[in-house]
Amino acid sequence: MSPTGETTDETSKPSVPAEIDAEDKRKKAKVIFVVYVIAALDITWMFLQFTVTPYLAKKLGFDTLWFGYLQTTVGVIQLFGGPMFGRFADLFGARIALSLACSSTIVFFLLLAIADHPAMLFVHKLPTVFMHVLPASQMVVADLSEPEKRADALSKLALCFGIGMIAGSTLGGHLNTRYGETFTACFGAAGSAVSLLLVLKFIPKTTKTQASSTDTRDDSRKKSVFNVGEITRLMKYPGVTPTFLVKIISGLPSGIFQVMFSIIALEFFKLEPQQNGYLMAYFGIVQMVMQGLVIGRLTARYSDKSLLLMSIGVSSLVGLAQAYMQNVVHFCIIVPPMMFALSVFNVITDSMLTKSVPSSETGTMMGLCASVQSLLRTVGPTVGGFLYVNYGISSIGLIEFFVNVCVFVFMLQRYLKSTTEHRD
């Protein structure tokens, strides 16, 4: 071969890996975009059913107490289903997991459409054990995004939540008013079928890295979805247990307020349904601004630990403000810092936890994170109802203030200690 040919051959070699790497990034970006679309659609259908279930429950004779039991049932089912579903996603791949979640949503809406007895409302909640589209989407995004960009990528999923909240609430309200609960539920089933088709068309069989997918410890472990020991084993990874405890302890007071918000809006603010709808739209818009314009820039400039500390500090101030608010105008002023704290807290804790475990187990970790929200929905109505009835709305805000102040001081001490050790 001539010298000229050798030179050409040598210079062409480095371009092959670069082209492959660029193509791989484009494929990952495409999958992540489709996952965002699927997540936005799923949240849309979820808020669409929120416009159906309360009215149908009232028609079937449910009072406030029994409706609370219905909501608690969902929390209990998803509390146990979340970690198991996450492990299922790790073992069988993203496509099968998302297909199962979307299929369960279809069944969920079809059962809601034919519900003509109080017992059927409880039966139609059973498929929620597999309805974990958002955690599965978080797993895919965590698998395909770079570690340093993971928080920003996960925040975009929360942006999808805001879009779905506004679209689902608006669409569901119009459909339910014009065509009734049955048609609206059938529309949700049809929409979930569209989500399923997107999964089958665009989501790869697995999103794990080659090293993770070929990592085998033993066959019995890999085949066991219900292995509680393997699920709880994630807590042994460095940094997982402290972050998870912070997620539960700091998230519980704000979760209680969220669970009780419908009662607060009705009894404390005296809002009509239409006014409540406007307030929910305001929630969605503020969340979209936070996720789309704020969090991405913050994660690019500050560390996860700094942002977590900031979110807890802001949450404590939000709790104090909630304790002394008097009307809905005061609450509207509190909403932006409240949504900022919630958004940053959820995104950063999820990002930190997924970074702390191998790629092969991000699904299980996201399932555990989802179980925290289910735990809040399970204990929130009972605890929140007790506090609200006996001590008023100010008690919920003051508890959020004191709990977050304690967590903030604890986290600040750990942060300063680690900074000092790093310098030494």
Would residue 21 count as lying in a domain? no
Single-letter residue type at 423 = R
Cα dist. 151→218, 299, 351 in Å?
32, 7, 5
Q: pLDDT tens across 272-302, in order? A: 766 776 787 788 788 888 877 888 788 888 8
The values of phi and psi at residue 206, to 5°, are: -140, 150
- Answer yes or no: is 13 within a domain: no
The answer to the question of residue 92 being in a domain is: yes
Q: Are the C-beta atoms of residues 299 and 307 closer than 8 Å to each other?
A: yes
Residues recorded for the chain? 424
Report how far residue 214's alpha carbon sits from residue 364's, in angstroms, rounded to the nearest whole number: 17
Q: Inter-axis angle of helices 15-50 and 181-202, to 10 degrees?
A: 170
Domain membership of residue 19 (yes or no) is no
Tens digits of residue pLDDT in 180-235? 889 999 999 999 999 999 999 999 988 876 544 444 444 444 556 656 676 777 88
Query: Which DSSP category does 69 fall into?
Result: H
Let me know if residue 151 belongs to a domain: yes
Any idea which residue has 């919630």 for tokens?
Answer: 342
Domain extent for 391 = 28-207+232-423
Q: Which of 166, 141, 114, 178 is nearest to 351 (CA)?
A: 141
* Gap between the Cα atoms of 214 and 358, Å rounded: 13
Any domain includes 18? no
> What global pTM score does this model have?
0.76
Cβ count within 10 A of residue 18: 9
| Domain assignment present for 252 | yes
Per-residue pLDDT of the chain (424 residues; tens, 9 = 90+): 444 444 444 444 444 466 667 788 888 889 999 999 999 999 999 888 887 887 788 788 877 667 767 877 888 888 888 888 888 888 888 899 999 999 999 999 999 999 888 889 899 999 999 999 988 898 898 888 888 788 888 888 877 888 888 888 788 878 888 888 899 999 999 999 999 999 999 999 888 765 444 444 444 445 566 566 767 778 888 888 888 899 989 988 888 888 778 778 777 888 776 677 678 778 878 888 887 788 878 888 888 888 999 999 999 999 999 999 988 899 999 999 999 999 899 889 988 888 888 877 888 888 888 888 778 777 877 788 788 888 888 999 999 999 999 999 988 888 787 777 666 5
- Which CATH number characterizes residue 37's domain? 1.20.1250.20
Q: How many structural domains comprise the chain? A: 1
Please check whether residue 143 is in contact with residue 96, taking contact to mean a CB–CB distance below 8 angstroms. no
Indicate the residue type of 178.
R
Answer whether 70's CB lies under 8 Å from 57's CB: yes
- Within-domain flag for 80: yes
CA distance 141 to 28: 9
